[in-house]
Amino acid sequence: MAIELSTVFAGRWEKIRRLGFGSFGEVWLVKRKGEDRLAVAKIPHNTRLNPQFFREAAILKRLSGHPNAVRLWEVLEEDRKAVIIEEYVDGPTLQELLDEGLESATREKAYLELLDFLAFAHRHNIMHRDIKPENIIITPSGLAKLLDFGAAKDLTRRSTSSTVIGSRPYMAPEQISGKSRLGSDVWAMGILLYTLATGLLPFYDENEKNLMDMILECEPEAPRSLEPSLPERLEEIILKCLEKDPDKRFKNAGELKDAIIEGFPQFGDGSTLPS
């Protein structure tokens, strides 16, 4: 059932159109009353979800100092439901651009920006847990923005939850058993870099159980066997991200970023990934 939301809520935000509907709530495009500023309103289905929405808002606030972060405008309550008002990010998703064909310079630049933002998040003890091209928007100015921190976790808060969170093709082996860690984000960034380099996912099957078994048991095909022009060192970096044992991966996004910059100082100009 759709959430009832008045045309103007909290006295200052005008509803324009619904952008999405999910298991936790709805997302609306809204406009500040009397202004031209657009924003996104996230509203939970019920008040039991309020704590989760407040946690997401707290995470967005902690990360708001980074240029690739989505800005948190405010958190309010409407009909006793927590409402997150955040920056509206206009533009296609990275997945949409990849489907159309994306030049290597843009792929490299977007990846490096995302990695820098994720390193920033990891330094603040935040892991995203749902990194995928569909959650990445490229703005008209070319800035990459990582969206959807609804699944993110604050590592400074104690939690006994073992809920499986993430998008299947990008999930690390430990995520399948509900044991996410910073290395799980490193795995997802390895999957993304593999895809940007080869045009293919390292693990994929229409059958969910088969896909989970592949992630847990199978080694990815070597990227250079699919794209021989790929630098050997970059292949090593990708495969280190995709180690089954998280202790064998880069410890966090900062370590991964350092490895890429050290190996490829020019990364971002389009000369490293295949065109």
* Average model confidence (pLDDT) across the chain: 92
Annotated catalytic residue, options 116, 130, 148, 185: 130
Q: Do 8-87 and 94-263 have matching folds?
A: no
130 is catalytic: yes
Is it the case that residue 29 has pLDDT exceeding 90?
Answer: yes
Residue type, 252: N
pTM of the model: 0.92
Collapse the DSSP code of 115 into the 3-class scheme (helix H, G, I; strand E, B; otherwise coil) and give the result.
Answer: helix
Q: What is the pLDDT of residue 166?
A: 62
* Rounded-to-integer distance, Cα 85 and Cα 100, Å: 31
The token pair at 98 is 């990849």
Task: Delimit the domains of the chain by residue range.
Answer: 8-87, 94-263
pLDDT digits (tens, 9 = 90+) for 57-99: 999 999 998 999 999 999 998 889 999 999 999 999 999 999 9
Is it the case that residue 162 has pLDDT exceeding 60?
Answer: no
Contacts of 161 (CB under 8 A, 6+ apart): 178
Outline where the chain has alpha helix (H): 50-63, 94-100, 104-123, 173-176, 182-198, 208-217, 223-226, 232-241, 253-263
End-to-end CA distance of the chain: 46
* Rounded-to-integer distance, Cα 174 and Cα 184, Å: 7
pLDDT digits (tens, 9 = 90+) for 206-239: 999 999 999 999 999 999 999 999 999 999 999 9
Angle subtended at Cα 189 by Cα 185 and Cα 195, rounded to the nearest 5 degrees = 145
Could you tell me which CATH number the domain at 94-263 has?
Answer: 1.10.510.10
* Rounded-to-integer distance, Cα 79 and Cα 100, Å: 42
pLDDT digits (tens, 9 = 90+) for 89-130: 999 999 999 999 999 999 999 999 999 999 999 999 999 999
Class of the 8-87 domain?
alpha beta
Collapse the DSSP code of 227 into the 3-class scheme (helix H, G, I; strand E, B; otherwise coil) and give the result.
Answer: coil
Please state at what angle helix 253-263 crosses helix 104-123, rounded to 10 degrees: 140
